Structure 1
């Protein structure tokens, strides 16, 4: 990277939800910014953990046995193979996901959406 990444500027480049944007890569991992609102589908990632870091808003990560609620500055890692569903019940949430490069960003059994650069 030749320049610092300004997250506010990256978030300002798009308005669609559940469509991650690639902002950096390191050691084979992709750092993605994403805006979410409403419910997503139940899904799993069989080969990788799922990293969520909330920048703005409140995100519920529903697991089959409990719900983990994240506010700004909080993160949670869903272990590989654990079925989960992210939900933004109270308006838009801006967050960062970090996953191995090339990871199907929506989990097994969910609709494929390409990850594009912000």
Structure 2
């Protein structure tokens, strides 16, 4: 495996809310995504999800609270916990995701933003 330039890989991400794969290890995928606006309420029954904010401020809404994740910070959403990531003020937020390879993008929820056939970049 050769080194991966994360900044260069982010330049290849063209669609908001559509993760692209940049690596795989021990059954986990490393993905990049650009986010803007609101996503969709969903959960992952059997998989935890880690969000690392590379650029911007991510808001992770839970049914009982909202967490603010700034550049350089992470949040881990435990399996089975309903959540809705979003951004504010038309800000573009860049995130790196770590999740099991079998994780469905929006869990059992079917939505126009669901992308389960993610591509390597």
Matched, 1:49 2:52: no
List alignment gaps of at least 5 residues for structure 1. Answer: none
Q: 1:117 aligns with which of 109, 115, 120?
A: 120
List alignment gaps of at least 5 residues for structure 2. Answer: none
Find the counterpart in structure 1 of residue 105 from structure 2.
Answer: 105
Find the counterpart in structure 2 of residue 9 from structure 1.
Answer: 8
1:51-104 deviations in Å (ceiling 9; x for gaps): 111000000000000001001110001111111000011310000111111311
The count of residues paired between Structure 1 and Structure 2 equals 117
More strand per residue: 1
Structure 2 CA distance for aligned equivalents of residues 81 and 37 of structure 1: 24
Find the counterpart in structure 1 of residue 74 from structure 2.
Answer: 75
TM-score, normalised to structure 2's length? Answer: 0.92
TM-score, normalised to structure 1's length? Answer: 0.94
Runs of 4+ in 1 over 4 A off after TM superposition: none
| 3-state DSSP of counterpart to 2:54 | strand
Find the counterpart in structure 1 of residue 94 from structure 2.
Answer: 94
